Structure 1
Amino acid sequence: MTYRNSRTVKPAPRLSLGLALAVSFLMPLAACQQQPQAERPPLEGAAIGGPFTLVDKDGKTVTRDQFKGEWRIVYFGYTFCPDACPLDVQTMMRGFNIFAKAHPDLARKVQPIFISIDPARDTPKVVGEWTGAFGPRLLGLTGTAEQVNKAADAFAVYHKRGADTAGGYLMDHSRISYLMAPDGKPISMLPTDKGADAVAAELAKWVK
């Protein structure tokens, strides 16, 4: 006599067509939601940057349009500054050099620029000699008072002549190193107050 197992195996429950479609739709959606979104530039949409016409160390005219397609680092200061400007620019350029050593191809797409806010004393020759002390990549620009004021206003830079002293007058001004995109839009302020390594890291974060 042959005995058969009296137990029967029940088939697994089947998903309804509607439920199956809902699950298949939600799975990729959930996966997309888990992907981190790209960080927005801190200065995105800010009214910073604009047209300017200045001159370089040789007295040649330089305009904003000449930098189309290039990243730019822009700092406003003056060569007779006793402390803040040399410190800021030194940190800015040291950070740029660290970045250039790690990313030489990207660094070639970046133009560091120093713009004087003291045109009465900062002639093209003076600016050229001063910026040359920080390396050949730093471009120094100056111009007439009207040209300098227009450039400073475009970058929302505060500047004002201080009182006369025995050693000459000082200039009050903003201390900001702007990173500008190839299309001329503002990206971020380089953290010169945190040191050269922080500047290099900020450049590496945005310059691609």
Structure 2
Amino acid sequence: MSKPNNCTEGSNCAQVKKIRNTIIWLGFGIVALVYYLFVPGANQLQDLKEQVQPTVSLYSSPKSLQGKYPLIDDNRNTTSLSEAANSKWSILYFGYTSCPDVCPIDLAILNQT
């Protein structure tokens, strides 16, 4: 038994196949373009490693701030970093005692976050 051929002389099977093949090739092209644009290559990763390497070796033995490190809170009470952080992420801001132009802007930016 042979498979019936739906293409007759009056149908446009060749045109449908051409459109189907074009869509398939366009799909492959789009996938390749997305892969090329969004997946970093080995050269880009090597460049990134070279950029990060100096900062990694800058502090070869960083000091821990887990012990008593006296700080003054906004109520002028002495506290430690471990008490202030309370096992959560915290922002530690080192401001200046007299800076009328930069500090208010920095504090406004921190307040927005």
**Which has more radius of gyration?**
2
- Normalised by the length of structure 1, the TM-score is 0.22
Q: By percentage of residues, which structure has more helix? A: 2
Give the structure-2-normalised TM-score. Answer: 0.36
> Higher strand share goes to which structure?
1
